[in-house]
Amino acid sequence: MRILTLLDIIKEVRNDPKLLFEYIEYTYDIINKVEDKVRAYITLRDKEHVLRDAKRVYDKLIKGRAGRLAGALIAVKDNISTKGLRTTCASRILEDYVPPYDATVIERLKSEDAIIIGKTNMDEFAMGSTTENSAFFPTKNPWDLNRVPGGSSGGSATATAAFEASAALGSDTGGSIRAPASFTGCVGLKPTYGLVSRYGLIAYASSMDQIGPITRTVKDAALILDVIAGPDSRDATSIDISFPKTFLEYAEEGSRGSVKAKLVVIEEMVGEGIERPIYTSFIRVIRHLEANELNVTWISKPIVKYALPTYYIIAMAEASSNLARYDGLRYGLHVGVEGKSWYEVFAEVRSRGFGKEVKRRILLGTYVLSAGYYQAYYLRASKVRRLIRDVLVSLLKTYDCIISPTMPVLPPKLGERIVDPLKLYAIDVNTVLANLAGIPAISIPSDLVNGLPVGLQVMCDELRENLLLKISSYVESFLKITPLVPPLVRGYVI
């Protein structure tokens, strides 16, 4: 059975529904062999429960009434609510929290007959870029177990890269889908703000949070986006828009052949802080693009240098407000402290329940919003945010997309970045732009350097996912490196 891509799996299972059970057994075999090494999952569902769901999907396949994702085993980041399935945000404060409802994206996946296989590890409350900030354990990069898989959706990317799932959902506030996709050799897509409902996504920074797919090919990402995108009356920021064709059709068009497009590189995105091998690889990829009728222009936009502090001020401010809800009363950590003041009891719950980085961000977020500092930090950052968005949007009137390396560095070693918060924040330099501006961005594997995956980021104007998927699928078709299979699982997959 061919299992290299989500589309392969769906096709195989549609032709021969019995293969669904075989595929599930096979996937759990891979999990048994590699999960101890990579630790992608916080909660893995029992195979028996998954097989029970599969029986229902099988019956529909036999009757020819199965949905578009029949056959898919989807790994879900542990900040997306799944009814009856523990959802921890990789935090002690939600360690035993079981949501009484499904997020909209989960309802939509299930209605197309996808099966949820488990909930994946992440940086606590999505605060981090390496998946080392999980309260439970770090996830390891399947390409090199001494390195981080990126974050914060590191478990979702690792599960996909190591064939422990057919594909995954992540969330992206400042690059949390694209960073781990890039470091693990996957495709990661952050849609336009509002294209996918956030209902049921545990909030980090609400003005930037978006759910999106992590897959092994662009077409796989397009198919999942087709299923999860669309308006939702439970998220007032969701957008009611329809495209003439499905996203999968746009991706297929791109992979079939010659697409002409004008691309632009912002010089500040490949400036200081970028590692030499990443730069050389990027230049090599540009030569490939130009040899395939894609025009590449270089331009300087100095405002982009301010994106990182702008992002962190806004993200921390919103986080401090969103995380005010955790008091351990209605759900979450229960400490059983009594007879103290109201302040002491709740501060005790929160101090025991939140990890170091989360506390740091809540404190700084409270600071930048507090009287006397609001104007100097939060308001100023929100103004710089407008300047950044205006520059990107106007650039995207002239050019079809902005390209850059997704990450300025190769996957760091475990422990290398986490020791210094500024060193950790620095690797988000190219990804935060799309969240500040609300525009879509994708990371696609573009190279292997010293046996480690490198990603190319493509950003388009808002609600131009059609163009984004067409161009990135075209690029994927001539770079010819996806789907990538890490050496760790090569023996089991091919």
The interface with other proteins within residues 374-403 (CB under 8 A) comprises 377, 379-387, 389
77, 119, 190, 219: the catalytic one is 77
Give the nearer residue to other proteins in terms of CB position, either 30 or 439.
439
51-59, 272-280, 326-334, 402-410 -> range binding other proteins (CB under 8 A): 326-334
416 binds other proteins (CB under 8 A): no
Which residues within the stretch 436-465 sit at the binding site for other proteins (CB under 8 A)?
437-438, 462
User: Residue 316 Cβ, how far from other proteins at the closest point, in Å?
Assistant: 9
Nearer to other proteins, 63 or 330 (CB): 330
Q: What tokens were used for 8?
A: 């392969």
10 Å Cβ neighbour count for 356?
Answer: 12
Crossing angle between the packed helical segments 465-479 and 276-291, to the nearest 10 degrees: 100
- DSSP β-bridge partners for residue 41: 120
The residue from 134, 166, 176, 446 that is catalytic is: 176
CA-only gyration radius of the chain, Å: 21
Q: In this chain, which of 65, 245, 325, 334 binds other proteins, going by CB under 8 A? A: 334
Bridge partners of 120, per DSSP, are 41, 77
Q: Are 9 and 3 in contact (CB under 8 A)?
A: yes
Per CB under 8 A, which of residues 464..483 are in contact with other proteins? none
- Asked if residue 168 lies in contact with residue 213, where contact means CB atoms within 8 angstroms, the answer is yes
* Residue number, 81 or 184, with CB nearest to other proteins: 81
Q: How far is the CB of 260 from other proteins (least distance, A)?
A: 29
The reply to whether 281 belongs to the active site is no
| Binding residue for other proteins, selected from 20, 40, 73, 362, defined by CB under 8 A | 362
Given candidates 15, 63, 422, 494, which one binds other proteins under the rule CB under 8 A? 422
Stretch that binds other proteins, among 146-154, 250-258, 264-272, 419-427 (CB under 8 A): 419-427
DSSP 239-295: -----SS-HHHHHHHHHHS---EEEEEEGGGGSTT--HHHHHHHHHHHHHHHHTTEE
Checking DSSP bridges between strand 401-405 and strand 452-459, what pairing results, if any? antiparallel
Q: Residue 256 or 356: which CB sits closer to other proteins?
A: 356
Residue recorded with tokens 């190769």: 410
**Is 176 a known active-site residue?**
yes
Min dist. Cβ of residue 381 to other proteins (A): 6
Q: Please state the three-class secondary structure of 401-438 as a single string.
A: EEEEECCCCCCCECCCCCCCHHHHHHCCCCCHHHHHHC
Taking CB under 8 A as the rule, which mask of x and - marks residues 342-361 in contact with other proteins? Answer: xxxxxxx-xx--x-x--xx-
Longest dimension (CA), the chain: 73
- When the beta carbons of 249 and 416 are compared against other proteins, the nearer one is 416
Q: Say how far apart CA 42 and CA 122 lie, in whole Å.
A: 9
- Phi then psi dihedrals of residue 259, to 5 deg: -120, 130
Q: Please, what is the minimum distance in Å from the beta carbon of residue 355 to other proteins? A: 11
Report whether 36 contacts 196 (CB < 8 A): no
3-state secondary structure of 483: coil
The interface with other proteins within residues 9-68 (CB under 8 A) comprises: none
How remote is the C-alpha of 76 from its chain's centroid?
A: 10
What is the three-class DSSP state of 441? Answer: strand
Q: Using the minimum distance from each CB to other proteins, give the nearer residue, 50 or 437.
A: 437
Contact range with other proteins by CB under 8 A, out of 2-10, 34-42, 329-337, 394-402: 329-337
Q: Does an H or E element contain 42, and which?
A: strand 41-44
Q: Which of 239, 429, 454, 489 binds other proteins (CB under 8 A)?
A: 239
The beta-carbon contacts of 380-387 under 8 Å, at least 24 apart in sequence, are 380/313, 381/309, 381/310, 381/313, 381/314, 381/317, 382/314, 384/303, 384/306, 384/310, 385/310, 385/314, 385/436, 387/303
Among residues 236 and 291, whose Cβ is nearest to other proteins? 236
- Note the Cα 424 to chain centre separation in Å: 17
Q: Pick out residues in 164-203 that bind other proteins (CB under 8 A).
A: 193-194
Shortest CB 362 distance to other proteins, Å: 5
Q: Which is nearer to other proteins, 36 or 343 (CB)?
A: 343
Binding to other proteins (CB under 8 A) within 67-96 occurs at: 96
Please tell me whether residue 329 binds other proteins under the rule CB under 8 A. Answer: yes
DSSP structure string for 71-106: T-EEEEETTB-BTTB---TT-GGGTT---SS--HHH
2 touching other proteins, by CB under 8 A: no
Of the pair 266, 437, the CB lying nearest other proteins is at 437
Per-residue binding string, other proteins, 219-238, x by CB under 8 A, is ------------xxxxxxxx
| Contact string (CB under 8 A) for other proteins, positions 296-325, x = contact | -------x--x-xxx-xx------x---x-
Out of 91, 129, 152, 238, which one is annotated catalytic?
152
> Closest distance between other proteins and the C-beta of residue 306, in Å?
6
Q: Is the Cβ–Cβ distance between 189 and 452 less than 8 Å?
A: no
Residue that is written with structure tokens 């308001």 in the block: 379
Nearer to other proteins, 332 or 486 (CB): 332
77 flagged as catalytic? yes
**Rounded Cα–Cα distance for residues 198 and 142 (Å):** 29
Listed ranges 61-69, 244-252, 263-271, 365-373: which one lies at the site for other proteins (CB under 8 A): 365-373
Residues identified as active-site: 77, 152, 176
